[in-house]
Amino acid sequence: MFKRLGAVLTLAFASLVWAETQQANLTVYTRTGTFIGGYNDTYPDVRHFKYIPYAKPPVGIRRWASPEALDDSTEVIDSTVFGPSCAQYVSAVPSVWAMNITGNLIVNYGESLLAGEFAQNSAEDCLTLAIWTPANATAGSKLPVIHFFTGGGDVTGGINIPTQIPANWVHRSQSHIVVTTNYRVNIFSNPHARGLHNHTNFAMQDQRVAIEWVAENIAAFGGDPSRITIWGQSAGSGMVDTYLSTYYDDPIAAGAIMSSAFAIGYPAMTADYDGLNFTFVAKSLGCDFSDPKVELECMRRIPPARIENFVGQYQDNSSLVDTTQSAIKFTRQIDNKYVWTNYTKRHLEGKYAKIPTIFGTTAREFSALLPYEEDGPSEELITEDTLIFVCGGYNTTKLLNQANLTTYRYEWAGNFSNIAPVPWLGAYHYSDLYMFFGTYLIAPGEITDLEIQTAETMQDYFLDFISDPSSMSNKWPAYDVYAANGGNITQFGADGKAVQIVTGDSVEGACHIPGATYNTTP
């Protein structure tokens, strides 16, 4: 009897020790606070911290101001639940993102994907990031880190997007950490107000403060601050490429990945240097003042939902109704501080971070970006506009080759019916993220063996890069635009193959070879 009781007590004590160890591993101490994380429901070998502030809240007098680093703090913060995305609007204009594709928009907990109103799960106090690690990672693990910046055309986006949750990838590798980041968007990021005197592009500034926070604190989560790779998709990709030109002498990162948008040829720019768009919104909301400072102070008192609803509904009306009203736009703008006039010139002057890079495109970038039509846009428009990104990648990597900087190229060309549910989508802009994050598993429909193999291959190629950007394995050859046939591009998902190496000319020949055509369905 006593022997049995002793065994029970020993087992109970061991269980208690195990539980305490597990709980201790969910508590991480940093300079800016103590964060309590959790284990992923689907992958219990993955630890997550979904809510980590990286800058002071940009509210009140900090609205439309540069982000401020956080003070020292011993505050204990529950990081098991996502915070809000940055203030944004849910458009009422039909789009393929709302009508056909699963899980690519921020989670708004029941709000219609065509609500035509302020995103109810968004707010100004939004400068947070999230971290996913293997469950057994500790402060001494020194794992490589990939720091992701979401897309959204400078007007939407955030951490809490189902297809951008990296739990599957971290579960598979058990050897790296993923960070994803909120940053300000739309008028709260790019106001271009008269009263700011060309002080704008706040998302670009948010990005830098987030990268600095990760570099300072990621070791506590098991990461290696000397092995941080920054990665962006779409607007986030353009931000990363721009960042490498802005902070060329101190990028912090060891490597960078740009997926589907580049500083050269970036299409979503605003040229409103007189602040007319901001003044129009201000007057419409009762802030009708000729003095720019008073106009700005008045607008800082308007609730964010009221501002976003006016801007969004005005823009929707321009699209939904036959009207001659003037368009308004709040995206990044050249200021020659964070966004530059001439990137080619900066490249040639050596003003680009001297770290290894990856540039990627999808075969049919614009099938999902052109105005929505049930039967899809014209093939001519898809091809013409896709070349904006393809040729932007070509022109940038050509300049990097001239500077003897190592770069790699990929094209995503897969066409799987669960992530591309209508036939004209194909390898559309964004669809490669399903593969890298492993979230193709949440898309309804058949999942083939080829899709699984392709996704795992793509994850492993990226992992190979972030583990040591300066020493890639031979399976992914570096790009050399001057080589025969335009160098090598790694192509994923085409011709029934998970991966193959193709010539640069076969992908981007239309950018520089007279008479060459571009293939949107390789």
Q: Which has the closest alpha carbon to 392: 484, 516, 258?
A: 258
Helix (H) or strand (E) holding 122: strand 122-123
Cα dihedral 378, 379, 382, 384 sign: negative
**What are the structure tokens assigned to 162, written together?**
């189902």
Q: What φ, ψ does residue 71 adopt, rounded to 5°?
A: -75, 165
Q: Residues 272, 275, 279, CA angle at the centre, nearest 5°?
A: 130
**DSSP-assigned beta bridge partners for residue 231:** 148, 257
Within its chain, how far is the Cα of 90 from the centroid? 18
Torsion of CA 140, 126, 207, 62, to 10 degrees: -120
DSSP 375-418: T---HHHHHHHHHHHHHHHHHHHHHHHHTT--EEEEEE----TT
Q: Are 375 and 424 in contact (CB under 8 A)?
A: yes
Sequence-ordered list of residues with C-beta below 8 angstroms from that of 471, at least 6 positions apart, any chain: none
Per the annotation, the verdict on 297 as an active-site residue is no
SS3 content of the chain, % helix, strand, coil (to 5): 35, 15, 50
Side chain identity at residue 15, one-letter code: S
Residues 6 or more apart from 449 whose CB is under 8 A from it? none
Catalytic residue (one of 124, 365, 411, 451): 365
Nearest to 201 by CA among 346, 334, 54: 334
Rounded to the nearest 5°, which phi and psi values hold at 274?
-100, 0
Name 233's bridge partners.
259
Task: Examine the residue annotation and report whether 456 is marked as an active-site residue of this protein.
Answer: no
H helical segments located in 42-138: 96-99
Is 365 considered catalytic here? yes
Task: Please list the residues that pair with 411 across neighbouring strands.
Answer: 361, 491
Q: Which helix (H) or strand (E) holds 255?
A: strand 255-259
Q: Which of 85, 234, 245, 259 does the annotation list as catalytic?
A: 234
Of the listed 429, 431, 451, 508, which one is catalytic? 429
Catalytic residue numbers? Answer: 234, 365, 429
